[in-house]
Homo-oligomer: A and B are copies of this chain.
Amino acid sequence: MRVVRPKPLTKTAFARFGEVIETDGAGSFVINDGKATRFHDLAGVDVGAQGGRPAISIFRAKPTSLPFDIAMFERHPLASQAFYPLSGRPWLVVVATDDAGRPGDVEAFVASGTQGVNYARAIWHHPLLALDEVVDFLVVDRVGDGDNLQEFRLDAPCRLES
């Protein structure tokens, strides 16, 4: 069985899949007469295809633990999708390259509790993987007509191990 070990999530390692939403290393400027700092435009919200509009939702994810068998991936061909954890706890991000319309190479990351991600349009990713306890995530994605969900069940699962 294919085994994947999650690596720490960094902007560089994740760049081909989308953006890491974090203040570390982000461009910022002071606002509100010095009372606040704006870490600016950390993720591009790309949801306008076929009349889509951006929406803010909250996903409440049940926890999992390692080892975990990855059996499927999904992707959203019309839009980006951003997740930010509201628990302050680490979580797992699992993505795959595209190989002629199917998930190809799998990569896994441990995101800290102060890291979100924005999956770029059409990037294969596993649904939310919270660790240890139920975690809420703030989500910015697309609402609208059109077929924005593709799922692909793997012929053989891929094992996520620490």
Residues of A near any B CB (own CB < 8 A): 21-23, 26, 31-45, 47, 53-62, 64, 82, 84, 86, 88, 114, 116, 118, 127-128, 136, 138-140, 143
Query: Which of chain B's residues have a CB closer than 8 A to the CB of A41?
Result: 55-57, 143
Within the complex, the shortest CB–CB distance from A93 to chain B, in Å, comes to 15
Docked-complex contact B57 and A42, CB < 8 angstroms:
yes
Tell me the bound Cα distance from A21 to B59 in angstroms: 12
Q: Which of A35, A114, A118 has the most CB of B within 10 A?
A: A35
Contacts of A140 in B (CB 8 A): 45, 54, 56, 140
Contact in complex: A55, B59 (CB < 8 Å): no
A45 and B53 form a contact (CB under 8 A): yes
A17 to chain B, nearest CB (A): 16
> Which residue from chain B places its CB closest to the CB of A127 in the assembled complex?
B32
Contacts of A37 in B (CB 8 A): 59-60
B21, B39, B60, B127: the one contacting A39 at CB < 8 Å is B60
| CB of A45 to closest CB in B, whole Å | 4
Q: How far is the CB of A35 from chain B (nearest CB, A)?
A: 5
- Please, could you name 22 A-B residue pairs with CB atoms under 8 Å apart, sorted by A? A21-B138, A22-B58, A23-B60, A31-B127, A33-B127, A36-B60, A36-B128, A38-B58, A38-B59, A38-B139, A39-B57, A42-B57, A42-B58, A43-B56, A45-B56, A56-B116, A56-B140, A86-B86, A114-B136, A116-B138, A138-B138, A140-B140
Q: Is the CB of B39 within 8 A of A55?
A: no
A38 and B57 form a contact (CB under 8 A): yes
